[in-house]
Amino acid sequence: MSTSRIPEILRKHEAALLDDWTREQNQLGDISHRLSEADLRAQSRRFLQLLQEAATRGDAADTDTEAFREVRRFLEEVSASRAALGFSPSETATFVFSFKQPLFNQIRASLPSAEDQLAEIWTATLLLDKLGLYTMETYQKTRESIIARQQEEMLELSTPVVKLWDGVLALPIIGTLDSSRTQTIMENLLEKIVETGSELAIIDITGVPTVDTLTAQHLLKTVTAARLMGAECIISGIRPQIAQTIVHLGVELGDIITKASLADAFRIAMQRTGHVVVRKAATSRL
Amino acid sequence: MEHIPILRMGSFLLITVQVDMHDRLALQLQDDLTERIVQHGSHGVLIDISALEVVDSFIGRMLGNIASMSRVLDAQTVVVGMRPAVAITLVELGMSLPGIRTALTVERGMEILRGDVENSMQELEAEEPERAADGSSEV
């Protein structure tokens, strides 16, 4: 395919191709609210240049070669930026695929024989399909990395350790407890215990929808680790359903203090730390 | 031969582990400690492991053993200042050190030991008044 005339066509009709292509992209869908006309044009021009260089140097049908490295990198950039800007998959792929129409038109105009036209169009289709698929793949990867990052952020967000009183910490857990999350929670809690020198920690599981053996195991581990460091844990916010599950699963909570509500747990904590809560109205009556 | 220093504070012994515990050091500590408890008639042992960064199952078991041995010799053991990473490791290894008392700081550990000794003194006092008098003069 080294005799392909695509590089030549790309070079000769660059300006015309660019105009046609930009028009084509604008027709296909209105994306101006996310990407300005000028940016789109700049992107298209850069792609054209790179494609032309690559096609001149390498085989137009094989995009995995060294010659197309720059093109691939540019497409990675484009799809990553589009993924971040919230473009849909088809909108992202359209960037490459919309180039077909202008290119085919130019091929038809430049080559006299129908046979040549067909051969070149076939080469061009292969080339653009490959590049388009590559764009999609990168788009997908970017989206996946965004999802992974968000998951990580959620993990961070959902495990705050709050100080309730001098020497009393509370850890309200919201959401399902899986291994990696429990690990983070455990580390956070233990670090905070050392930092604040607290001897009591209340783990509130009101926001945990279900408790299975694994979750219970994780909770037990956290409590044991805290105990090893010299802090006591109280588990609170056990809903009726969860209490039933724990018993049915045969989970042995040992001598861990469990309370139905955070208020009850806090009362115990106050007792342990030697505090007494007195209502003012009650004292005035005396 | 390397030794982990054992300091005497009244009727308590204070051990601060400031180097990485390797197996022989731990065994040596076990020897030294039991000797010192008998020698001084100590009632409490406080082990500060706040500088200990790495533990394995052997060291975990040693801590448990030391506590059990001390108990046999009538001394309470409190382990203080365990780091979060160390605590997590021990739990993952399945060693919850059931017989060991723990505290966050040396200060709190001392309070626990004092409280324990006072309690046992009071019990003794209630049972045998003369022996309690001996015990309190020792403290």
pLDDT confidence band for B8 (50 / 70 / 90): very high
pLDDT, tens only, A102-150? 888 888 888 888 888 888 888 888 888 888 888 888 888 888 988 898 8
The last residue of a domain, from among A151, A174, A196 = A151
- Examine the domain organization and report whether A10 and A130 are in the same domain: yes
The pLDDT-based confidence of A3 (bands split at 50, 70, 90) is low
A140 shares a domain with A96: yes
Tell whether A118 and A142 lie within a shared domain. yes
Residue B129: pLDDT band with limits 50, 70, 90: low
Residue of A nearest to B81 (CA): A229
Which CATH number belongs to the domain containing residue A111 in this structure?
1.10.490.10
Q: Which of B52, B63, B89, B104 to mutate to test the interface with A (most CBs of A within 10 A)?
A: B104
A172-200 per-position pLDDT tens digit: 988 888 777 888 888 889 999 999 999 99
Name, of A72-76, A250-254, B82-86, B120-124, the range with top average pLDDT.
B82-86
Question: Quick one: average pLDDT of A25-46?
Answer: 78
Cα separation, A63 vs A220, whole angstroms: 55
Q: What pLDDT score does B131 carry?
A: 53
pLDDT confidence of residue A54: 84
In a domain, A17, yes or no: yes
Residues of A with CB under 8 A from a CB of B: 186-187, 190-191, 193-194, 197-199, 221, 224-231
- The pLDDT, as a whole number, for residue A48 is 87
Contact B24, B49 (CB under 8 A): no
Q: Is residue A211 domain-shared with residue A94, that is, in the same domain? A: no
Q: Which domain holds residue A191?
A: 162-285
- Is B1 a domain residue? no
Examine the domain organization and report whether A173 and A144 are in the same domain.
no
Query: How far apart are the C-alpha atoms of A96 and B94, rounded to whole Å?
Result: 57
Chain A residues in contact with B47 (beta carbon < 8 A): none
- Percentage of chain B modeled with pLDDT above 90: 35
pLDDT for A2: 45
Mutation target to probe the B interface, by most B beta carbons within 10 A, among A180, A199, A229 is A229
Q: Same structural domain for residues A145 and A271?
A: no
Report, as an integer, the average pLDDT of A61-83: 82
As a whole number, mean pLDDT of residues A31-45 equals 79
Q: What was the pLDDT predicted at B13?
A: 93
Q: Are A10 and A48 in contact (CB under 8 A)?
A: yes
Of the candidates A92, A121, A151, which is a domain's last residue? A151
User: What value does the mean pLDDT take over residues A15-25?
Assistant: 84
Q: In which order are the strands placed within the sheet that holds A232-236?
A: A162-165, A168-174, A200-207, A232-236, A257-258
Instruction: State whether B84 and A230 contact (CB < 8 Å).
Output: no
Domain stops at, among A151, A174, A206: A151
Asked whether A54 and A71 are in contact (CB, 8 A), the reply is yes
> Where residue B114 sits, what CATH number does that domain have?
3.30.750.24
Arithmetic mean of pLDDT, A50-66: 77
Contact: A228, B80; criterion CB under 8 Å: no
In a domain, B64, yes or no: yes
The pLDDT score that the predictor gives to residue A64 is: 75
ipTM: 0.75
The mean-pLDDT minimum among A25-29, A99-103, B71-75 falls in A25-29
- Per-residue burial over A95-123, b = 16 or more CB atoms within 10 Å of its CB, e = otherwise: bbbbbbebbbebbeebbeeeeebebbbeb
The total domain count for chain B is 1
Residue B44 lies in a domain: yes
CB contact under 8 A, A227 and B83: no
User: Residue ranges of the alpha helices (H) in A13-113?
Assistant: 14-28, 37-57, 69-85, 89-97, 100-110
CB contact under 8 A, A191 and B84: yes
The pLDDT of residue A266 is above 90: yes
Which CATH number is A180's domain given?
Answer: 3.30.750.24
DSSP 3-state assignment of A161? coil
Quick check: B104 and A231 CB within 8 A?
A: yes
Evaluate whether residue A118 is within a structural domain: yes
* Pairs across A and B, CB distance < 8 A: 55
Mean pLDDT of A65-83: 84
| Separation of alpha carbons A238 and A242, rounded Å | 6
Model pLDDT, residue A37 = 80
The per-residue pLDDT for range B90-118, each reduced to its tens digit, is 998 988 888 788 999 999 999 999 988 88
Question: From CA A229, how far away is CA B87, in angstroms rounded?
Answer: 7
Q: What is the pLDDT of residue A1?
A: 41
**Per-residue pLDDT tens for A201-235?**
999 998 888 888 888 888 888 999 999 999 999 99
| Mean pLDDT for all residues in chain B | 85
